[in-house]
Amino acid sequence: MTTSSESVHKVNFATPRSFKTALKSDLKETFFPDDPFRQFENEPPSGRLKKAVQYFVPVFEWLPKYSLRLFKYDLLAGITIASLAIPQGISYAKLANIPPIIGLYSSFVPPLIYAAFGSSKHLAVGTVAACSLLIAATIEEKVSANDNPTLYLHLVFTATLVAGLFQAALGFLRLGILIDFLSHSTITGFMGGTAVLICLQQLKGFFGVKHFTTKTDVVSVLRAVFSHRNEWRWESAVVGIIFLVFLQFTKYVKQKRPRLFWVSAIAPMVTVIIGCLFAYFVHAEKHGIQIVGDLKKGINPLSIKDLNFDPKYISAPIKAGLITAIVALAEGIAISRSFAIMKNEQIDGNKEMVAFGLMNIVGSFTSCYLTTGPFSKTAVNFNAGCKTQMANVVMAICMMLTLLFLAPLFSYTPLVALSAIIMSAMFGLVDYQKIHHLFETDKFDFCICMVAFIGVAFISMDIGIMLSVGLAILRALLYVARPATCKLGNIPNSTLYRDVEQYPEATAEPGILVLKLGSPIYFANSTYIRERWF
């Protein structure tokens, strides 16, 4: 029986799903939340094929709509980032302890692959300092770059292949969720610690030190610098300081006059050119200023035959490849998404992983080492007004012409000039404002950042990043195991229920406990909830 003021509502219960159906639904929600094949529905077979090709190879989507008007912008942007790619390529190859020409090769083939498969219009492909140092630190645990440079280089190519295969696999299997565990706090601390390490390592070039350590912690680097004071050359230090002051001045000009961004963009190239002329005319080597040395002109030779899978050494390239793959993905995808947001565009993280993977796989076959999307080069590309991925093609063509005709001219580049370029680039990677912001807003995030920073700087790069990621995962587990909970009460004369601590006038229902939980109840937090409230 029901009174006239009451009403009966029928509730429909869905038919219980089978285990197979539930598992399929959960997997789809986890790995295919965007449902990439939805756009192919209600299309004829020919239309499905066309859209499938455009989806998996984005160049077929934007190239048919390309125009000369867009090319004008991409041409300027491509030439601008090429002028930055030459000194960066030589500098970061030096950081990875491989021949400088490999750094130039790495800005020729990979950008072409990314232009075909990448989804970001603004990302500029190239080598990065952090991954260069990571590769060197990891592979030198097995093989010395000085004692056996050929084997060392072959292991670098192998590490690049491992990184590419891992990145492509993550993209094809749509496991971008793994990259999400690299929090912004971890990346900030990792980049800061790496920047400090790299800056200190450049003291070798500044002082002209010939003997150095293969370790990457601050204490070992400083010990190596000061224990070889007998090798210091004041001439090299003076030249390095002059170049560094010049580079920092151009950054100051860019900050004061954003429209003059190109002054800072071409500064590394100007430094290299002036350094080459200086070294050639004053015979710098006779005054203790070391130069790059022989750079042979020519297009990338194939290196597929140089890949080394010897069980004696394979652990080093596998370790280097997996770690740098994750770091490169996190950095490249974060950067491409950041610049896409400025244009109100979307970036498909899984497509980016496939593109990064393919360009590193092909790169390992063509004498290139690990590449991703560097922040400095991408920022220059964006500010130069690039419109499509064609800017990477223009850069690649400029690098091809450099390799064919101009490479030997850069053989006179002073190593101290490269050290100044690297140092100047690293100063911007220590994000003091972000670290301070983390301290002010979230102490746990600040701790995660500091663990990465201190671990990278004083222990090792791989241990530092693993400790930080472990702490971030621990924090996530704590949120689940100790969810935020509050007791709710009824606001008088309403149907609203609010936290009784925030709303003192809210009254609890007699005999009923109403809780608001910040996480679903399951085995990890059920005991906590029972002990906390019952």
Predicted pLDDT at 417: 87
User: Which one of 461, 477, 493 terminates a domain?
Assistant: 477
Q: Which amino acid is at 251?
A: K
Helix segments in 140-217, DSSP class H: 149-172, 184-201, 203-207
Residue 77 has pLDDT above 90, yes or no: no
Residue 5 has pLDDT above 60, yes or no: no
- The mean per-residue pLDDT over the stretch 180-191 comes to 78
| 471 and 520 in a common domain | no
User: Which one of 28, 53, 78 terminates a domain?
Assistant: 53
Predicted pLDDT at 1: 43
Q: Kindly list the strands in the beta sheet with 497-499, ordered across the sheet, starting from the edge strand earlier in the chain.
A: 497-499, 485-490, 515-517
Compute φ and ψ for 63, nearest 5 degrees: -65, -40
| 294 and 207 in a common domain | yes
Q: Is residue 151 situated within a structural domain?
A: yes
Residues 6+ apart with CB under 8 A from 218: 196, 197, 200, 457, 458
Strand bridging mode 497-499 / 515-517: unpaired
- The mean per-residue pLDDT over the stretch 334-355 comes to 81
Cα three-residue angle 235-241-246, rounded to 5 degrees? 130
Q: Is residue 9 situated within a structural domain?
A: no
Task: Lowest mean pLDDT of 5-14, 209-218, 325-334, 436-445, name the range.
Answer: 5-14
Proportion of the chain in helix, strand, coil states, percent, rounded to 5: 65, 5, 30
Q: What is the rounded CA–CA span in Å between residue 185 and residue 99? A: 34
Q: Is residue 401 situated within a structural domain?
A: yes
Decide: 308 and 151 in contact? Cβ < 8 Å: yes
Residues 6+ apart with CB under 8 A from 42: none
Collapsing DSSP states into helix, strand and coil, what is residue 291?
Answer: strand
Q: What is the pLDDT of residues 469-491, one digit of tens each?
A: 888 888 888 888 888 888 899 99
405 secondary structure, DSSP code: I
Q: List the domain range (segments joined by +) for residue 23.
A: 19-53
Q: What is the pLDDT of residues 420-462, one digit of tens each?
A: 887 887 787 788 888 889 899 888 889 999 998 999 888 877 7
Residues 178, 347, 41, 115, Cα dihedral to 10°: -110
Q: Which two tokens stand for residue 270?
A: 């100007």
Read off the pLDDT band of 180 (50, 70, 90): low
| 391 and 249 in a common domain | yes
Q: Which two tokens stand for residue 170?
A: 């993550």
Q: Chain-wide mean pLDDT for the chain?
A: 85
Q: Is residue 179 situated within a structural domain?
A: yes
Residue 270 has pLDDT above 80, yes or no: yes
Q: Is residue 3 situated within a structural domain?
A: no
| 427 and 350 in a common domain | yes
Predicted pLDDT at 2: 46
Q: What is the pLDDT of residues 369-410, one digit of tens each?
A: 999 988 778 877 887 788 899 999 999 999 999 999 888 888
Among 127, 47, 141, which residue's Cα sits nearest to residue 93?
Answer: 127
| 464 and 438 in a common domain | yes
Q: Which two tokens stand for residue 260?
A: 């003059």
Stated length of the chain: 534
- Of residues 533 and 495, more confidence is placed in 495
User: Which one of 446, 477, 508 terminates a domain?
Assistant: 477
Read off the pLDDT band of 113 (50, 70, 90): very high
Domains in the chain: how many in total? 3
HEC states along 492-515?
Answer: CCCCCEEECCCCCCCECCCCCCCE
Q: What is the rounded CA–CA span in Å between residue 201 and residue 329? A: 25
Predicted pLDDT at 178: 67
The highest-confidence range among 205-209, 391-395, 501-505, by mean pLDDT, is 391-395
Q: What is the rounded CA–CA span in Å between residue 419 and residue 400? A: 25
Predicted pLDDT at 135: 93
Q: Which amino acid is at 56?
A: F
Task: Lowest mean pLDDT of 163-172, 182-191, 233-242, 292-301, name the range.
Answer: 182-191
| 431 and 510 in a common domain | no
| 38 and 103 in a common domain | no
- The mean per-residue pLDDT over the stretch 134-138 comes to 90
- Of residues 265 and 60, more confidence is placed in 60
| 472 and 490 in a common domain | no
Among 236, 269, 184, 150, which residue's Cα sits nearest to residue 449?
Answer: 184
- The mean per-residue pLDDT over the stretch 303-316 comes to 94
| 375 and 293 in a common domain | yes
Q: Is residue 2 situated within a structural domain?
A: no
| 147 and 121 in a common domain | yes
Task: Lowest mean pLDDT of 169-183, 200-214, 317-331, name the range.
Answer: 169-183
Among 465, 99, 175, which residue's Cα sits nearest to residue 333?
Answer: 175
| 42 and 173 in a common domain | no
Collapsing DSSP states into helix, strand and coil, what is residue 488?
Answer: strand
Among 211, 210, 271, 212, which residue's Cα sits nearest to residue 240?
Answer: 271
Read off the pLDDT band of 4 (50, 70, 90): very low
Among 242, 228, 251, 221, which residue's Cα sits nearest to residue 459?
Answer: 221
Q: Is residue 110 situated within a structural domain?
A: yes
Collapsing DSSP states into helix, strand and coil, what is residue 414?
Answer: strand
- The mean per-residue pLDDT over the stretch 57-66 comes to 89
Record the pTM.
0.77
